[in-house]
Amino acid sequence: MRQTALAAAGLAGVTLLGGVHVLGQERGLDDDDRGDKDDKNADTAQEIFTAALVAEGLATTMYYNSLVGGVIQDPNLAGPGGSLGNPASLANVGYLQGALSVEIAHANLLRELTGGTSAGKDPVQTFYFPAGTFDTLTNFLPILLALENAFIGAYLTAVHEFSLMAAKVEPYEHEQKDPAGKPYGRDDLAYFSQVAAAIMGVESEHRTLARALPAISPGNTTFAGIDVFPADNLNYEQTDGLKTVYNGANSAVAALTPFITPGAGKVAFSYATAISGSGGVSVPTTGGLPPMR
């Protein structure tokens, strides 16, 4: 998403692609740190986990602020004068509350896979959204849908990359290791592909439920310039133009870079605040990882 377009009004239809790859630079990584890879921008397993962890932190921050910002007062949600305890639409508010809990659960898993110990030590602690993102549903929905499309694309791309790693197909023939340096086995990598697919399925739920938030009528099925009817409008999920998760111009990291870098027209939001305040606005979600075969 071009930073200038992101900060401007009329965000519907803006692509997330076109960002600058800076996450690796911020973490002090160079080509030698990333291991032996050719010029095809192949990721490592740890890089995929790291990028996904940042994405889940971004999602957590986004959903938390949707529940404490002005957007919750939209008639489609809690409504004017409403609250989380007395919403105009219990289901619609619940979509956001459940998504917050889910993104935190995803982040906890990915943090474990990267060897992290707490949310306070995650790679990115501040996220940047266009001013007014959380003021109204008109401002919020295009950002929400654009990000969920990027998350879906990232996990679908991860499914592909983990599959190639398990099969040791070029350029993924190099040994993959856990945070302690222990090599992953073929079954581990195949399982990571399954886990990525499981997360992608839930992110797809978020995308569809987000499209169901606006109240529409037979004569008007658009909201904020987006045709939101039917909410479940896709036959197949897409990679959103992503080719890798971490490395390269068409990576998830490049797509999400505008949200982890400050700039004109953006407002900073604290990840720590979202984590600490999440218990007061989220609702419980259930389910564990798919069993490993």
- Sequence-ordered strand ranges (E) for 101-157: 126-130
The CA distance from 138 to 10, in Å, is: 9
Whether the Cβ atoms of residue 119 and residue 272 lie closer than 8 Å to each other: yes
| Closest to 110 measured CA to CA, from 27, 40, 199 | 199
pTM: 0.88
Whether the Cβ atoms of residue 50 and residue 80 lie closer than 8 Å to each other: no
Name 116's Cβ contacts closer than 8 Å, sequence gap at least 6. Answer: 53, 122
Render each residue's pLDDT in the chain as its tens digit; 293 residues: 333 333 333 333 333 333 333 344 333 334 444 444 444 689 999 999 999 999 999 999 999 999 999 999 999 999 998 999 999 999 999 999 999 999 999 999 999 999 999 999 999 999 999 999 999 999 999 999 999 999 999 999 999 999 999 999 999 999 999 999 999 999 999 999 999 999 999 999 999 999 999 999 999 999 999 999 999 999 999 999 999 999 999 999 999 999 999 999 999 999 999 999 999 999 999 999 999 98
Domain segments of the chain as ranges: 3-7+17-25+42-280
